[in-house]
Amino acid sequence: MRKISVLSQAVAIVLGGCAVSLPGSGFASTSTEACKAISEQEVAALFDRWNGSLQSGDPDKVVANYADGSVLLATVSNQPRLTASEKKDYFVRFQKNRPVGEIDSRTIQIGCNTAVDTGLYTFTYGTTGASVKARYTYTYSWDGKQWLITSHHSSAMPEN
């Protein structure tokens, strides 16, 4: 009987779209929570929201884009930023350069209550005019009220 139950759960995953873990089962089952629809343009606008908060000069506005428990692997820091205070510390320093980000190329993938935006971007510093080209990945999750960053990885391009 257990094998049929597991098979039913697997079929429900394929047919249902959204999934949540069932305690102790090791498998997932469909959720009663509906998937939040989002378009590629709306995912792209999440970067614009983040970039606008970055340009505000207020690190708290930038940190507000991140979910609790999110991870920031920042472009110009060797330290993973796991807490809101660690993220704020990074952005206090980063914002001193008055950075402006611009997307050079991107690929967007959309799932059930999740989205991934990955590609290449360039930051130009308002204080010096210098620029840094980097690779990025933002993962987003719908928290029931808004889309928030769950992980953000950015690394400078290795080749000149």
Residue 137 pLDDT: 98
Average confidence (pLDDT) over 101-127: 97
Environment class of 159 (CB within 10 Å of its CB; exposed 0-12, middle 13-18, buried 19+): exposed
What is the token pair recorded at 38? 């989002």
**Residue 15: is its pLDDT beyond 80?**
no
Read off the pLDDT band of 31 (50, 70, 90): low
Residue 159 pLDDT: 81
Classify domain 40-156 at the CATH class level.
alpha beta
**Residue 102: is its pLDDT beyond 70?**
yes
Could you tell me the residue ranges of all domains in the chain?
1-33, 40-156
Distance of alpha carbon 38 from alpha carbon 1, whole angstroms: 39
One-letter amino acid identity for 30? Answer: T
**Residue 12: is its pLDDT beyond 80?**
no
Distance of alpha carbon 156 from alpha carbon 74, whole angstroms: 9
Average confidence (pLDDT) over 66-95: 96
Whether the CA torsion 57, 151, 116, 21 is positive or negative: it is negative
Read off the pLDDT band of 105 (50, 70, 90): very high
Residue 53 vs residues 15, 50, 56, 59, 140: alpha-carbon distances, Å: 39, 5, 5, 8, 16
Average confidence (pLDDT) over 45-69: 98
pTM over 0.85: no
What mean pLDDT, rounded, does the chain reach? 85
Quick one: what percent of the chain has pLDDT higher than 90?
76
Name the 3-class secondary structure at 46: helix
